[in-house]
Amino acid sequence: MRITFPHMGNLYIVGRGLFEYLGVDVVIPPPISKRTLKLGIEHAQEFSCLPLKINIGNFIEAAELGADTIVMSGGVGPCRFGYYAQVEREILKDLGYQYDVIVIEPPDTHFSELLQKIKYLSNGKSLWQVARAIRFGWVKARALDIVEQKVQKVRPRESVKGAADHVYQWALNKIDLAGDVKGVLDVQKLALEKLEAIPQEKDKPVLKIAIVGEIYTILEPFVNLDIEKHLGRLGAEVNRSIYLSEWVNDHLFLGLARMRSGKEARKFASPYLRHFVGGHGQETVGSTVRYAHEGYHGVIQLAPLTCMPEIVAQSILPVVSERESIPVMTIYLDEQSGEAGLLTRLEAFIDLLYRKTDWKKENIK
């Protein structure tokens, strides 16, 4: 059994850590590239959203490296992603790839099923060993997010453009290579020190921009055309409504770890949206409200084109934007998205926020 799973931002580092800890043979698909996208577009339905197309590309490229088993998350509610695992299995079968597909439904709704599947995937390891592997994956996920959040703060202020990303790339690689918990924590500490040492223009006026929206598009830089780097270079500090470890905590640990949670975001969504609308639609609305309360200057909503939950959220956001007085811009992404068009919009949005902000008042705060 050689396991693979789709890319989604830094997920591959966590996945590799977890499976290798259990002694499972794991094949990470090559980094998402134009070829991945091309393979996906060629074999997926035109009207399906971008995550499906890239998943397909990932799986084809992983098969070329010898993967034979896919671990894929399922989903509940109106978001189409819930049955993508099944659709992808059928497409791959038609193409002649002999994949065994294991669908992990969100554990907060199907916990016993999850245990069964883990048992199958873990090569008969004891639950204790599985728990230790999950903890190891968790430590990596936390380290990645802690380092990334620091990078997001340094990017807009660094004197030499690209310095923070240089350290970030180094840290990603080191965290991926670390073989035990101590190793991961050491890298985390060192990375934070290195980031702290980067020369920065501390008193430069910096805008705070939040990215909200659909999880895949906000976590995967290939899909969102590196929006965070662009915003950083334009002088904005970025925070996201979803970080990998928060998602893991919400769904796998039932929110037991004390940190920002989806539940909290959903609370903020009231009175604008009180219902689950699938995907992260409700969290998008709630997070926008929360970021407005936290004094952010603007919010950017990201979603794959035709994403239903985010369309629902988008239709509610103008009211949120007005009442909470926070500018919101929505960007849909698909294989047609061009970086030039994105940059023009980002620049215009940043200009809008700069000219609107009373920096004298801001400094007193």
- Determine which residue in the list 135, 189, 274, 356 makes contact with another protein, applying CB under 8 A: 356
Binding of residue 340 to another protein (CB under 8 A): yes
**Smallest gap, in angstroms, from Cβ of residue 348 to another protein?**
4
**Smallest gap, in angstroms, from Cβ of residue 111 to another protein?**
38
Sign of the CA dihedral with 228 first, then 232, 233, and 236 last: positive
**Smallest gap, in angstroms, from Cβ of residue 339 to another protein?**
9
**Smallest gap, in angstroms, from Cβ of residue 132 to another protein?**
34
Window 280-319: contact mask with another protein (x via CB under 8 A): --------------------------------------x-
Q: Based on the number of CB atoms within 10 Å of its own CB, is 46 exposed (0-12), middle (13-18) or buried (19 or more)?
A: exposed
Window 30-69: contact mask with another protein (x via CB under 8 A): xx-xxx----------------------------------
Binding of residue 166 to another protein (CB under 8 A): yes
- Determine which residue in the list 38, 93, 161, 267 makes contact with another protein, applying CB under 8 A: 161
**Smallest gap, in angstroms, from Cβ of residue 297 to another protein?**
13
**Smallest gap, in angstroms, from Cβ of residue 147 to another protein?**
18
Binding of residue 165 to another protein (CB under 8 A): yes
168 or 247: CB nearest another protein: 168
- Determine which residue in the list 153, 229, 280, 297 makes contact with another protein, applying CB under 8 A: 229
Cα angle: 40, vertex 42, 45; to 5 degrees: 80
Taking CA atoms, 49 is separated from 52, 263, 313, 326, 358, in Å, by 6, 26, 17, 28, 40
295: left (phi over 0), alpha (psi -120 to 50) or beta: left
Tokens of 232: 């950083």
- Determine which residue in the list 42, 196, 201, 347 makes contact with another protein, applying CB under 8 A: 347
Alpha-carbon span 147 to 168, nearest angstrom = 7
Taking CA atoms, 165 is separated from 151, 232, 240, in Å, by 7, 10, 17
Contact region for another protein (CB under 8 A) — 50-58, 207-215, 247-255, 350-358? 350-358
163 or 184: CB nearest another protein: 163
**Smallest gap, in angstroms, from Cβ of residue 212 to another protein?**
17
31 or 179: CB nearest another protein: 31
- Dihedrals phi, psi of 223, to nearest 5 degrees: -75, -40
Window 188-227: contact mask with another protein (x via CB under 8 A): --------------------------------------x-
- Determine which residue in the list 180, 294, 351, 362 makes contact with another protein, applying CB under 8 A: 351
54 or 121: CB nearest another protein: 54
Q: Which residues bind another protein (CB under 8 A)?
A: 30-31, 33-35, 159-163, 165-166, 226, 229, 318, 327, 336, 338, 340-341, 343-345, 347-349, 351-352, 355-356
